[in-house]
Structure 1
Amino acid sequence: CRADGIKVLLTGEGADELFGGYDWQEASLKLWRPWSWPRRLFLSKRSLTRKFERQRHAPFRTSIAGGHAWDRNIVLRALSPELNFLQAKIFDRLEPVTPLGDRAFLGCCLHDMYSHLQDLLNRHDRLSMAASVELRVPFLENRLIDFAIHLPRRHKYRQKQGKWLLKKVAEKHIPLQNVRARKNGFQVSANFTAGTESLLHGGFLRDAMKWPASSVADLIDLARRDQASRLRLVGMELFLRLHAGGQSTGHLTEALHAAVAEAR
């Protein structure tokens, strides 16, 4: 864009967080189905109470660790304890909202404002400044935030569709095929990183984390099987090689290509 002389860009960041556009927000709604009618008839009140107290500490499905509550809490306690406990705080503050599924859905949207969105905005700020481009976020105007935060769940997620109200408005201005297009994130192909787990052998990450040999073998096997884990582990290894090992980006690129080629 900068090369084409475009100096100001508009981005849609904040729309998913404010209007319920992420699939894990929908999953948070479904997480509380046992308390819905008539499903709660099949569980005793005592059982639901016990389950509620356990689930209250991890009430939302998030993108971290594949959305499994136990794994997610381990990750968050290690990396950001305040964010981990923020889930329960938000859920408790939304106590007047019923049913519990709506409460969890709206809470997840609010939690994403404090967590996921912060990462996106930080990344955008750095990228835009590096390219000398001004990046504006019209959805994050204060009055629009206040309006969207107070919307009931039915205006955000309805008929198995996220961002329901936003899309209804967009239909008046944008072609329907664009409004109804399938959500498509910026995902990295599994084939792109296949084989890069070999970089964890004798790397910086093993020494930094003081992993025993058996753990290194297990983590390398995990990275081989699971793309998300591979991206995180290899990414940390490359970060350490760059900033602790003094290797150049060119050298790291060559190492990545060599690992992929060897795996093939």
Structure 2
Amino acid sequence: PEMHGYVVDPKLGRSEAESAERTGRHIGVDLRRVPVDRDRFFELWPRTVWHLESDGWHASVAGLLALAEQCRADGVKVLLTGEGSDELFGGYKWQASTIRLWQQSWLRRLFRSKAAQDRKYARLRRAPFRNSVGRGSPSDRNIVQTKLFDRLDGVSPDGDRAFLASCFYDLYSHLQDLLHRHDRLSMAASVELRVPFLENRLIDFAMHLPRRHKYRNRTGKWLLKKVAERYLPRENIYAAKNGFEMSHAFSAGTQGLLHGGFLRDAMKWSASELDDLIDMARAEEPSRLRLVGMEMLLRLYMGGETTEKLTEALHAESAAPSR
């Protein structure tokens, strides 16, 4: 059947459109760019908050909704996506960093006492691997991470054991969030996302692979990339992983929306506390996305504001002098 692909093309910051087009040409698939400029971002951001019923804390959600709406406009009903490949085949940087947690030079092993080694093992066992937010909350470390690590008893060395446990954990946690978010945004445009990597037999195959087939020579998804060499441009296969980036410039200047808003009243912040939080949102994109997103969520669901009115407010705040 005739197929074509899509790539989000942000007009601020970095875009992977050229690399995606290189892949499309290599395999003979037409690729369509979905441009997102700042005006389009301000239009989409409040609507992603509405559809997700959360603060929409990642700027990429606007790009995902733009892509889904372009598919609907083109008459596309179903999209194939790559979710699950990083979790199953070890593609995340924090999974690789887990191995380093457990590494110890031969010199340290030689001179460290057995009691000291046992203490280090016990400490690491309580938080055996890193994840997308670091090393998890205390309850998360004590309950889920340790149990996963213990269930892989028999896998050695311990760094491999922790690495595989982190892959399982990401299937349980990180992937769950991705699938939920992406499903909501695609279905907002009546487009169904299908995930070939999450086919049962492929999951079973990947979960039984040893670490060396997932991470080797400082390369994540090693086995998957070796297979991809037969079909895709090598420079794309081994390019540095960047995730779905949307520049911080898209949301810059919107922190003023917090002045006199619903979030301040709900949290009972003092004027000085609000000023501190606005300063933090001005300096840090994750804080800005989360705080402004929460403000929009409250205005939509408690204040009855429309997404169109919030788009106008975002434009006004971004154009206003810094305060």
User: TM > 0.5 between the two?
Assistant: yes
Shift in alpha-carbon separation, 1:261–1:31, aligned structure 2, 3 A: farther
Q: Quick check: 1:243 aligned with 2:301?
A: yes
- Equivalent residue number for residue 246 of structure 2: 188
Distance in 2 of aligned mates of 1:44 and 1:199 = 57
The CA deviation string for residues 23-54 of structure 1, in whole angstroms up to 9 with x for no partner, is 111122222224x6444446444344334333
- Equivalent residue number for residue 5 of structure 1: 75
- Equivalent residue number for residue 179 of structure 1: 237
C-alpha contact (below 8 Å) 1:83/1:115 kept by paired residues? no
Q: Quick check: 1:122 aligned with 2:192?
A: no
- Aligned partner of residue 183 in structure 1, secondary structure: coil
Following superposition, the deviation at residue 178 of structure 1 comes to 2.9
- Structure 2 letter corresponding to 1:59: P
Q: Quick check: 1:151 aligned with 2:209?
A: yes
- Equivalent residue number for residue 62 of structure 1: 131
C-alpha contact (below 8 Å) 1:30/1:101 kept by paired residues? yes
Question: Percent identical across equivalent pairs?
Answer: 67
- Equivalent residue number for residue 313 of structure 2: 255
The count of residues paired between Structure 1 and Structure 2 equals 252
- The one of 157, 165, 179 equivalent to 1:107 is 165
- Structure 2 letter corresponding to 1:16: D
Let me know the Cα RMSD of the aligned residues.
2.5
Point out which structure has higher relative CO (alpha carbons under 8 A, 6+ apart): 2
C-alpha contact (below 8 Å) 1:24/1:63 kept by paired residues? yes
Following superposition, the deviation at residue 18 of structure 1 comes to 0.1
The CA deviation string for residues 235-256 of structure 1, in whole angstroms up to 9 with x for no partner, is 2222112112211111212222
Structure with greater helix share of residues: 1
Q: Quick check: 1:23 aligned with 2:93?
A: yes
C-alpha contact (below 8 Å) 2:98/2:128 kept by paired residues? yes
- Aligned partner of residue 258 in structure 1, secondary structure: helix
- Equivalent residue number for residue 33 of structure 1: 103
The CA deviation string for residues 55-84 of structure 1, in whole angstroms up to 9 with x for no partner, is 3333222222xx2x4xx42xxx7xxx6697
Distance in 2 of aligned mates of 1:48 and 1:248 = 59
- Structure 1 letter corresponding to 2:190: S
C-alpha contact (below 8 Å) 1:15/1:21 kept by paired residues? yes
- Structure 2 letter corresponding to 1:130: A
Distance in 2 of aligned mates of 1:262 and 1:42 = 62
Distance in 2 of aligned mates of 1:102 and 1:95 = 11
C-alpha contact (below 8 Å) 2:80/2:195 kept by paired residues? yes
- Structure 1 letter corresponding to 2:82: G
Further displaced range: 24-33 or 210-219: 210-219
Shift in alpha-carbon separation, 1:39–1:188, aligned structure 2, 3 A: farther
C-alpha contact (below 8 Å) 1:200/1:206 kept by paired residues? yes
Following superposition, the deviation at residue 21 of structure 1 comes to 0.7
- Structure 2 letter corresponding to 1:15: S
C-alpha contact (below 8 Å) 2:127/2:141 kept by paired residues? no
**Unaligned 5+ runs, structure 1:** none
Q: Quick check: 1:87 aligned with 2:145?
A: yes
- Structure 2 letter corresponding to 1:230: R
TM-score of the pair, normalised by structure 2: 0.70
Distance in 2 of aligned mates of 1:39 and 1:232 = 43
- Structure 2 letter corresponding to 1:228: P
- Aligned partner of residue 9 in structure 1, secondary structure: strand
TM-score of the pair, normalised by structure 1: 0.84
- Aligned partner of residue 233 in structure 1, secondary structure: helix
C-alpha contact (below 8 Å) 1:158/1:164 kept by paired residues? yes
C-alpha contact (below 8 Å) 2:126/2:141 kept by paired residues? no
The CA deviation string for residues 125-179 of structure 1, in whole angstroms up to 9 with x for no partner, is 2233232323211110111101101111110011111100001111112232332
Distance in 1 of aligned mates of 2:191 and 2:255 = 35
- Equivalent residue number for residue 205 of structure 1: 263
Distance in 1 of aligned mates of 2:120 and 2:269 = 35
